[in-house]
Amino acid sequence: QEPISSAAGLRASEGAIRTSLVYVSVPSEVGPFLVPFGDYDDWSLRDKYNEAIRIMNMLGASTIVCETFREVSVRRGLRARFLDQSAEVTQHREMHSDFDFRHNGAGSTPRDPRPLRWPDEPGFSAAVSSVLENGAADVEINIKSNRIWTINGELGVQLKKLGFDLGGGNQRSEATTLHIKATFPHI
């Protein structure tokens, strides 16, 4: 944790920096950039998407297809049991999002897109080397990410002895896919 005064001069993804949020510091060309912790996964997916398109354009791609798909599922529940009677309340919510980019053109002479914003992202550096050093005509990158968080809780061991059971749970799962395919003219 740092005092708010240390954020003077920094930029944030949603504008003003607020004291009630936890931020992730992200490097950028013009200095550190702050993204709220809870928004980081969405922000990083969009940034990787834009970086993939920038890399393929700099490498002179004649066609680019870039697609993402994200699915989030949230399940919440509360259960109660007293002697032989029980009740349960559950909530389930699903969200889907995707965005696509397609480009078809003549292509151009490849230029080196380095430095890369995501140098450790699998496939980005390899695509640059494949085109610049090996004259690759086709490049395809698939990035998949799955995350699951689960919280289960129970209340009162003493209450269980009396025949009363109260508990709940929360599960959140996310699946994200980023697919990039580009072709390059033989120049």
**pLDDT band at 160; cut points 50, 70, 90:** low
Name the least confident of 21-35, 58-72, 107-121. Answer: 21-35
Per-residue confidence (pLDDT) for residue 142, from 0 to 100: 92
Tell me what the mean pLDDT of segment 26-39 comes to.
84
pLDDT tens, 46-61? 898 899 999 999 999 9
One-letter amino acid at 64 equals: I
HEC per residue, the chain: CCCHHHHCCCEECCECCCCCCCEEEECCCCCCEEEEHHHHHHHHHHHHHHHHHHHHHHCCCCEEEEEEEEEEEEEEEEEEEECCEEEEEEEEEEEEEEEEEEEECCCCCCCCCCCCCCCCCCCHHHHHHHHHHHCCCEEEEEEEEEEEEEEEEEECHHHHHCCEEEEEEEEEEEEEEEEEEEECCCC
> Higher confidence at residue 90 or residue 133?
133
pTM for this prediction? 0.74
Tell me the pLDDT tens digit for each residue of 55-91.
999 999 999 999 988 888 888 887 777 777 777 777 7
Is the pLDDT reported for residue 31 higher than 80?
Answer: no
The answer on pLDDT for 158 being more than 60 is no
Place of tokens 């919440």: 76
The answer to whether residue 166 scores a pLDDT higher than 80 is no
